């Protein structure tokens, strides 16, 4: 038997889904998600409020690590592993190491940002229980959906259904996983 994933409601305007999201957020629900055919201004801040510093911090750490690693590889090769005096220059010739260390820093920063974004977004995700909802197929065309997941601590199917009816939802459906 499939377990309850959440309750999804369909709205016909972006303002209606924004009002529903604001109402649910004020009612104390935290695990909810909205689906729309195009970006709705302000909806993201209502659904997921607060700063999201994880990805910039991850990229900064990748930049520091990449710069240090790029410089260390060159220093190890030129000064420690195979010291070769060319033109009377010092073994630790930092001006010649900076350009390639910077390029390696960019490579590691971009890679950490890309893979960090995939991890934070939980991608690639080939299946999600929300795909089983009959109303979800219209989310990419002309309807605005909001789903309250059953993992929310305040989840009560009857009160959520009543709230959606009060907010003027066109259709309300239980999603099973």
Say if strands 4-11 and 171-176 run parallel, antiparallel, or are unpaired.
antiparallel
**Span 152-173, pLDDT tens digits:** 999 999 999 999 999 999 999 9
- Whether the pLDDT of residue 103 is over 90: the answer is yes
CB atoms within 10 A of CB 128: 13
Average pLDDT in the chain: 93
Say if strands 32-35 and 144-149 run parallel, antiparallel, or are unpaired.
antiparallel
Mean pLDDT of 102-112: 98
Q: What is the pLDDT of residue 50?
A: 85
**Span 27-73, pLDDT tens digits:** 999 999 999 999 999 999 999 998 889 999 999 999 999 999 999 99
Domain 4-51+126-176 belongs to what topology? Alpha-Beta Plaits (3.30.70)
| pTM reported for the whole predicted model | 0.75
Judge contact between 136 and 8, C-beta under 8 A: yes
* Residue whose structure tokens are 């220093």: 75
Q: Write down the domain spans for the chain.
A: 4-51+126-176, 59-120
The rounded distance, in Å, linking the Cα atoms of 175 and 156 is 14
**Span 61-79, pLDDT tens digits:** 999 999 999 999 999 998 9
């Amino acid at each position: 038997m499939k377990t309850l994933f959440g309750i999804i409601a369909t709205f016909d305007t972006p303002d209606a889904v924004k009002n529903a999201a604001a109402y649910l957020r004020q009612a104390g629900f935290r695990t909810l998600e909205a689906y729309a055919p195009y970006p709705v201004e302000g909806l993201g801040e209502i659904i997921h409020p607060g700063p999201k510093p994880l990805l910039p911090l991850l990229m900064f750490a990748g930049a520091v690590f990449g710069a240090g690693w790029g410089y260390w590889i060159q220093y190890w090769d030129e000064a420690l592993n195979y010291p070769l005096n060319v033109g009377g220059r010092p073994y630790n010739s930092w001006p010649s190491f900076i350009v390639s260390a910077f390029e390696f820093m960019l490579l590691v920063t971009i890679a950490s940002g890309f893979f960090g974004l995939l991890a934070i977004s939980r991608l690639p995700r080939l299946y999600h229980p929300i795909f089983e909802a009959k109303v979800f197929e219209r989310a990419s065309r002309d309807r605005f959906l909001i789903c309250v997941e059953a993992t929310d601590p305040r989840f009560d199917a009857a009160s959520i259904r009543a709230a959606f009816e009060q907010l003027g939802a066109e259709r309300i459906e239980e999603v099973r996983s």
